[in-house]
Amino acid sequence: MTQDNEKETPRLIRLEEVNSTNAYLHSLNQKERLPEGSVVWADFQTSGRGQIGNSWESESGKNLTFSMVFYPSFLLARRQFLISQVAALSVKETLDEYTRGITVKWPNDIYWNDKKICGMLIENDLAGEYIYSSIIGIGININQARFRGDAPNPVSLCQILGKEVEKEDVMHRFLGHVYTNYLTLMEGEHDATLAGKYLDSLYRKEGFFLYEDKNGRFEAEFAGIEPTGHLLLRTKDGSVRRYEFKEVKFVLG
């Protein structure tokens, strides 16, 4: 992904089984720095990791579970939300090629209507004030027909379309989108293009909905996202509340 002539071709490492593609990529990268944009893709994870210490359920061979590495050393750590935007938009643009109704639920879940089709776990290593490496772990539900775990609202592309989809095809399209969006970020065009596209893609962007924070439930409408990634919600009395990820939940119907 470097813009000069020394660009190394990203590696695609495909594994039958691994504990977690994020963990595997992280430890491999400590031994040999992989070319930027490299991907570790597994058919099955024995301990797939989700957000907030949760696990990630994915039936063997049915879905896409992979991680990729970037080195956005040009980005200040306090702008790391831009990486989330690149990753979320790239999955949304990929799934838009298969169905309508795909949105980004802040910060980086991907929804089809009110159901979750994709989750991400982004782990950044910092070097001082800047980002050294960013491992983006993505699970997209593709061909799983039934979900048995305790995730409240999962859905797969196959359930939406009523037919199975080639995982390789989805992966190929995703890589096209993510490399393009990452180059846009490298070129410094995020404010003009990525940020606008991310905002346009948001789940529950218009209207009042129920949310829940440490003080209980409340109704609010979307009021913006700060460059740091904080979510702004406006309550019916006009006051604006500011949240970090994990400080507020969207209450689903």
Q: Binding residues for ligand BTN, how many (CB under 6 A)?
A: 20
Strand order, beta sheet including 208-213: 240-243, 231-235, 216-225, 208-213, 249-250
* Rg, C-alpha atoms of the chain: 18
From the list 109, 104, 111, the residue with the least C-alpha distance to 120 is 109
Pair 101, 113: CB distance under 8 Å: yes
CB of 22 to ligand BTN, least distance (A): 4
Rounded distance between C-alpha atoms, residue 205 and residue 201, angstroms: 8
Per CB under 6 A, does 138 bind ligand BTN?
yes
Per CB under 6 A, does 44 bind ligand BTN?
no
Note the residue count of the chain.
253
Residue nearer to ligand BTN on the CB measure, 63 or 181 = 63
Joined together, the tokens standing for residue 212 give 């829940």
Residue among 37, 72, 119, 229 that touches ligand BTN (CB under 6 A):
119
Residue among 28, 35, 43, 50 that touches ligand BTN (CB under 6 A):
50
Backbone phi, then psi, for 227, in 5-degree steps?
A: -55, -25
Residue nearer to ligand BTN on the CB measure, 141 or 181 = 141
Helix (H) or strand (E) holding 105: strand 102-105
Per CB under 6 A, does 137 bind ligand BTN?
yes
Residue range at the interface with ligand BTN (CB under 6 A); choices 45-53, 76-84, 172-180, 187-195:
45-53
CB of 40 to ligand BTN, least distance (A): 9
Rounded distance between C-alpha atoms, residue 187 and residue 170, angstroms: 26
Residue nearer to ligand BTN on the CB measure, 23 or 241 = 23
Residue nearer to ligand BTN on the CB measure, 72 or 107 = 107
Residue nearer to ligand BTN on the CB measure, 87 or 220 = 87
Per CB under 6 A, does 133 bind ligand BTN?
no
Residue among 1, 20, 175, 220 that touches ligand BTN (CB under 6 A):
20
* Distance from the Cα of residue 18 to its chain's centroid: 20
Residue among 82, 88, 102, 121 that touches ligand BTN (CB under 6 A):
121
For ligand BTN, the binding residues in 61-100 under the rule CB under 6 A are 65-67
Per CB under 6 A, does 45 bind ligand BTN?
yes
Joined together, the tokens standing for residue 39 give 């991907």
Helix (H) or strand (E) holding 219: strand 216-225
Pair 39, 11: CB distance under 8 Å: yes
Contact residues: ligand BTN, CB under 6 A: 20-22, 45, 48-51, 54, 56, 65-67, 109, 119-121, 137-139
